[in-house]
Amino acid sequence: MTIPVELKQISDTVWELPASYKKGMRVPARIIGTPDLIRAMDAGVFEQVTNVATLPGICRCALCMPDGHWGYGFPVGGVAAMDVEKGGVISPGGIGFDINCGMRLMLTNLTEEEVRPHLKQLVDKLYEHIPAGVGRHGLLDLTRGDFADVLEKGSAWCVKRGYGWQEDLERTEEGGCFKGADTAMVSDRAVARGRNQVGTLGSGNHYLEIQVARPEHVYDAALAARFGLTRPNQVVVMFHCGSRGFGHQVASDYLQSFLDVMTSKYGIPVLDRELACAPFASPEGQAYFAAMKCAANMSFANRQVIQHRVREVFADVFGRDPKDLGLRQIYDVSHNTAKLEEHVVQGERRTLLVHRKGATRAFAPGMPGIPAAFGDIGQPVIIGGSMETGSYLLVGTPGAADTFYSTAHGSGRTMSRQKAKKLWRGQELQRQMQARGILVRTASYAGLAEEAGGAYKDVDQVIGATQAAGISHRVVRFSPIGNIKG
């Protein structure tokens, strides 16, 4: 791929395209990464991040994280902060179709040696108890009224009904609920698509993994201990999913709504239809913000119910209470959201709407919004890799101020799903992974091929770039031993 000649390296890990690069850019565009990662970026990243830099109200710069790749509107890995008091916009393309897609990490007090004899039974039962795949329905039979409560209350609705523990809420971003969700702002079509999907993984790159923290991959033992990771080869459970068809429909509805008014009503030039937007303070912008919060809360509830099922399965397989097994939540982080936050811009504290599309919030120690248990060490950050490699637990750092306290969210694709299916066969990939000690159950062999490790960037390189850039600090790497996929 040809890198734009205008791209300048301004530090070991920061690269910039100036505002003069493209007509209409209001700020520069910056990409975080090592030289190798920059060379591996697809052309769409440079095109899209500079398009984002043209949006009204954008502050400081448009950003792309080290795992960045082409997406819808924004690149995946894109971050943009809009000044809501100076005409800043909100854009569904800067949040994503899978609103509040995120990661949840659970602790156990078991070791790999204790789990291995039960691994096949665990993987099979998790696959049976947690619906995965396109269009799958969850195990909760929700009325329309129940679902409306879920959309406004998020994880708390689940905990109140026995699908979790109070401490889960304390270890979830935003306490598991975006305040201000308004069900009147979502369509009947969205409700119909989402009402029966609470407690489901979905398809694509969504997964649930049983993972191991091996001693050689504990990079900060003191911080690992703060999270409860104290035993050699300790087992954790990590999963990645979002708001399913509900979030997709909310995004689709408002993309069309914004296209209808963006130019005709608000005079915003259309550089890319996928960047459809409206002023945040406008009726349309506020309606979408309230609907987006509904989808975020559905996603929190989705992960909460899945976590409950994980606890049930482990308790059944080991014949012990989930608390006795140490099945506590470490943290739940979002990576497809827009949030009102205060940040310092040119020495002045301002209220900004921070879009993170395939990027994770990474608040530094002492910042509000971090659970009390981690206030002095920084917000936990969970970054998933491919099912063949590994995933990471990190913490936020003061250096992330330059990225509006944002970091990567995964390893990032290097090729299309179509190309991956041409290079790998799902059944053969499953056999190869089993030979390496990773058991996989999948709803679709074609879907499994799409997620082959070779279709993704090297997660260790991505994490190395975030560490070198000072936007998050690595604590421990987890290796997969069991996986369920849609």
Output phi, psi for 74, to 5 deg. -80, 150
Residue 88 and residue 353 in contact, taking contact as beta carbons nearer than 8 Å: yes
Which residue in 240, 308, 355, 409 is the catalytic one? 409
Angstrom CA distances, 310 to 108, 120, 203, 393, 440, stand at: 11, 15, 18, 20, 16
**Identity of residue 472:** S
For residues 126 and 468, give the distance between their C-alpha atoms in angstroms, rounded to a whole number: 37
Residue 148 and residue 185 in contact, taking contact as beta carbons nearer than 8 Å: no
Residue 118 and residue 111 in contact, taking contact as beta carbons nearer than 8 Å: no
Residue 483 and residue 207 in contact, taking contact as beta carbons nearer than 8 Å: yes
For residues 391 and 238, give the distance between their C-alpha atoms in angstroms, rounded to a whole number: 9
SS (H, E, C) 1-51: CCCCCCCEECCCCEEEECHHHCCCCCCCEEEECCHHHHHHCCHHHHHHHHH
- Please confirm, yes or no, whether 409 is among the known catalytic residues: yes
Residues 154, 131, 254: CA angle, nearest 5 degrees: 50
For residues 430 and 334, give the distance between their C-alpha atoms in angstroms, rounded to a whole number: 29
**Tokens, residue 172:** 């979830």
Contacts of 439 by beta carbon, 8 Å cutoff, 6+ apart: 119, 120, 123, 433, 481, 482, 483
Angstrom CA distances, 209 to 126, 282, 384, 458, 479, stand at: 10, 42, 10, 18, 9
Angstrom CA distances, 307 to 172, 325, 328, 390, 456, stand at: 12, 14, 10, 20, 26
Active site residues per annotation: 409
